[in-house]
Structure 1
């Protein structure tokens, strides 16, 4: 069993393993972080009792680790409080959830995807980190039928980008990069559970149709009715074909570029897996990890972490679960 060194801080109070708070001692802690999902959240269980100093919307900071390192793994606000006979449950979420509530109308013309994402984050009063430009769109109507989060995900898909926030709640919109492995895990040494799955792809061809007849040409749209669809479509790969329409793509070249990015995104998902290890709080979504000494040769390489789940309780101690995907 690995013992966690933690600090859960809110309302000016800190809960650590070395501080005894009687009936309000921490019982368990679970942190969930993920790429491309508004799933960053934490659940903390305390012993029950009266005079508990937590309120909805209180800021909460959590550090977690071991004797050598205790990084900040979560910084958010309390979203749910449950007072029960034997325990008190706190559920907290990060600021990215405000993107779900953000709806507004705006037409962007000749703007990069990154510029549109910066505007959405600014409207939501969120901090921008590394925001890469990506492709430039002839136009992009941002409408109230979709939330700000939905629009960012749609823009990420066009570029084969990932969208995520770090522990300091800075938001990043960037291509997945094979970085130096942040930690190496060895089979039968520090891996408690390993699952690696390879999928036969359902689609091998990817066809993207770009700007259509109406476009934003106004009275000039009539000429588009006679245009050959091949002039504004692009296809990557052969075989069973996945078809998408992106009217904001203005020509064949940009449609072909997007089809290749979608193809690459699908190919990356052919290999996925899960690893359970002793607590490793220094790993965040988007980091790379490497696996070695596994009998299955395809596992012995570097993967990108897609989601992270840290669990600490009095029964299992401190363990971490990572889902990963191929970054090649």
Structure 2
């Protein structure tokens, strides 16, 4: 039987299952999801208070304080002592988990909350998505790609950037403080079909999902402890997107207020009366509105099937991975899916468990084929 193990590092303090015979770590709960600013890790520790200093140590400390001639007086930052090492807000917390020969870093975050009780100490660390959700800026980007915009916004929020797709170039994109930076990035992601999340190193990631084969294969009654899925009809079945300031004889730099014919900046995918109609002033070309319409249609198609499963601890499963479920007794529970949320729980009572939420995948690709057919038809009839 596989043995679960862990390593937790905060500042210069580190504890692992190899050197924790007294169970200093009581519980670890690590949760992360697409665009989720509440993604965090929570650890419960049993910390034995340090012995009180003797009279001699107290006298030496008092004398040292009295001899301090510095005029600068600053309020000390809050911290707690773990094995004689200070742990304070904004320290980096690193979580590594293993089960048998499978091991990986599962989260890097920043200490946000410290709670002390007579029984335990609770530390909560949050990801860069929380930082982005607390940051607001005013800026206007001209002729910048999505990657350039993301890099600049992340720099202003003091967030590290990981893998970001280049994306479209926007002639003009205003960013206002009425919306958080995370809200702006989420909206950009919707236009481009990018997932917005942080990787295990706490770096902002924005990229399109394009996997057609599984990163992990999960077998019923071997890996999977529980499994459920929800299926519903697609809503909407038709998406229409209209942009502004269409490309004309003046190109994408034209700024007309009123458009006589919106066909040059109109994208449409699907058919039926369940319609989602959108207008977006940042979209100023046919390619841009087609892309947005395709991504909205694909997203609606993907969430028609959503599920969750509970597994024996697997630290290798990450956001954006493709999982394939096999050998479930009901055929509708099997298939290839996209991981949208991962939660790892390690405790004395539950052991090491991994909870995964997932959705269908491939909706944008099917929308692309529909959009292509519509485009060919439009060209044939002279639109």
Q: Is the pair's TM-score, using the shorter chain for normalization, greater than 0.5?
A: yes
How much does 1:253 deviate?
A: 4.2
Q: C-alpha distance in 2, partners of 1:255/1:79?
A: 40
Secondary structure of the equivalent of 1:18?
Answer: helix
CA contact (8 A) 1:204 1:263 kept: yes
Unaligned runs of 5+ in 1: none
Structure 1 range deviating more: 264-273 or 105-114: 105-114
* Structure 2 unmatched runs, 5+: 51-80, 363-383
The answer (yes or no) to whether the contact 2:229–2:308 under 8 Å persists in 1 is: yes
What corresponds to 2:99 in structure 1? 66
Residue 211 of structure 2: aligned partner: 178
1:154 is aligned to 2:187: yes
- Residue 26 (structure 1) shift: 1.1
SS at match of 1:97: helix
Matches within 5 A, 1:79-90: 79-90=112-123
Match of 1:43 in 2: 42
Instruction: State how far apart, in whole Å, the 1-side matches of 2:206 and 2:147 are.
Output: 7
How far apart are the structure 2 equivalents of 1:251 and 1:67?
Answer: 52
Deviations 1:127-160 (A, max 9, x none): 2222112222231111111111111000000011
Return the TM-score normalized by structure 1: 0.90
Structure 1 stretch 51-60 or stretch 238-247: which is displaced more? 51-60
Q: Matched residues in 1 for 2:14 and 2:187: separation?
A: 40
Please give the per-residue CA displacement for 1:103-126, whole angstroms capped at 9, x wherever unaligned. Answer: 222111232223211221122232
SS at match of 1:267: helix
Distance 1:225 1:166 in 2: 43
Aligned equivalent of 2:62: none
Structure 2 residue 102 is matched with structure 1 residue 103: no
Matches within 5 A, 1:109-258: 109-178=142-211, 180-211=213-244, 224-225=257-258, 227-239=260-272, 240-258=274-292
Q: Hey, what's the Cα distance between the residues in 1 that align with 2:197 and 2:212? A: 16
Partners of 2:109 and 2:120 lie apart in 1 by 22
Match of 2:328 among 294, 310, 325: 294
Q: Which TM-score applies when normalising by structure 2? A: 0.78
Q: What displacement does 1:69 show?
A: 3.1
- Count of residues in correspondence between the two structures: 321
Residues 2, 100 of structure 2: 8 Å contact kept: no
Q: CA deviation at 1:70?
A: 2.5
Asked if structure 2 preserves the Cα contact closer than 8 Å seen for 1:49 and 1:87, the reply is no
How far 1:179 sits from its partner (Å)?
5.2
Tell me which residue corresponds to 1:13: 13
After superposition, the Cα gap between the structure-2 partners of 1:229 and 1:58, relative to the gap in structure 1 and judged at 3 Å, is same
Q: CA deviation at 1:192?
A: 0.4
- The alpha carbon displacement at 1:303 in A equals 1.1
Mapped contact 2:151–2:161 kept (Cα < 8 A) = yes
Checking the alignment, whether the CA contact within 8 Å between 2:127 and 2:198 is kept in structure 1 is: no
SS at match of 1:247: coil
